[in-house]
Amino acid sequence: MTVDEKQDYHKASNSLVFGGILTYVSCLLLVMAFASPYWIQSYEETHSEFKNMGLWEYCFEDFRYPYYQFNTLFDGCHYIFSEKYYVLREWLLPGWLMVVQAFVTLALMLSFTSQVIIALELIRWPLEFVLLHEWLLSGIAAIANAIAAKLLLLSVMIFGIACWRRDWMLYPNFNYLSWSFGFAVCSMFLHFIAAAFIYMDAKKGWEYRQESRNLVVQMHPNPGRNGYV
């Protein structure tokens, strides 16, 4: 078999390409939501001591915690696990928020995993492995995207309901859900759509698995059939 004949294998389907693009965009939105401190924000006209927060950061301006015995002002933006917020950590990090953090982190890991698998399928490397198991790889990527989307759905539902609790943030009526939360919602929808496209590719790969197997066999002809008697 010549080199040109060996390269005569089917390329990645449009469904996989579209699914890969959507996965990349949704992961980019998820990274911004994951890292940015604007899941919830206070209205500027309220002049609230609380300014904004994200999954890993809180921002205050001359804030006094009413249940802390010392007259200490908390000012600026700080990492939630920093020494600055040590005395506030139990209040700033309730159980439901830790669940949201865990779900979003898992969703981000699954999204990255899906991107790696899709990238290998798109570049067809390693070629023989991808040809033999493309339906399985696409199936894993589709499941990873679907689970990531479901985790994000749970995360935004939990956060969207619990962020108005009065035992968490003081004066919750002064606050509103901000753009980081919106990015998480958009990422959730895009992950669902990407999962659907990649599932279509997995279904197509299952239908053509025998042809792909035959092609791999042709790439390694029997050494006894090289034209020699």
Domain edges within the chain: 3-41+93-218
Mean pLDDT over 17-42 rounds to: 98
Q: What percent of the chain has a predicted confidence (pLDDT) above 90?
A: 72
Give the per-residue pLDDT at 221: 65
C-alpha–C-alpha distance, residues 13 and 71, integer Å: 63
Separation of CA 175 from chain center: 26
Q: What is the pLDDT of residues 150-204, one digit of tens each?
A: 999 999 999 999 999 988 988 999 999 999 999 999 999 999 999 999 999 999 9
Q: What count of other Cβ atoms lies within 10 Å of the Cβ of residue 108?
A: 20
Res. 70: pLDDT tops 90: no
Question: What is the pLDDT averaged over residues 61-65?
Answer: 92
Q: Give the model's confidence band at 40: pLDDT under 50 very low, under 70 low, under 90 confident, else very high.
A: very high
Segment 203-227 shows an average pLDDT of 70
For residues 117 and 20, what is the distance between their CA atoms, to the nearest angstrom? 10
Residues 124-153, mean pLDDT to the nearest whole number: 94
Q: From CA 168, how far away is CA 43, in angstroms rounded?
A: 17
- 85, 87, 92, 93 alpha-carbon torsion, rounded to 10°: 100
* 1 or 33: which leads in pLDDT: 33
pLDDT value of position 8? 63
Q: What are the tens digits of pLDDT across the range 106-134?
A: 999 999 999 999 999 999 898 888 988 99
- The whole-number average pLDDT for the span 74-97 is 94
> Quick one: pLDDT at residue 229?
36
Q: Residue 34 — very low, low, confident or very high, per pLDDT cuts 50/70/90?
A: very high
Comparison of pLDDT for 222 and 101, the residue scoring more: 101
Q: What is the pLDDT of residue 170?
A: 84
Q: Is the pLDDT of residue 10 over 80?
A: no
pTM of the model: 0.89
Give me the CATH topology for the region 3-41+93-218. Butyryl-CoA Dehydrogenase, subunit A; domain 3 (1.20.140)
SS (H, E, C) 162-198: HCCCCCCCCCHHHEEECHHHHHHHHHHHHHHHHHHHH
**What's the whole-number average pLDDT of the chain?**
90
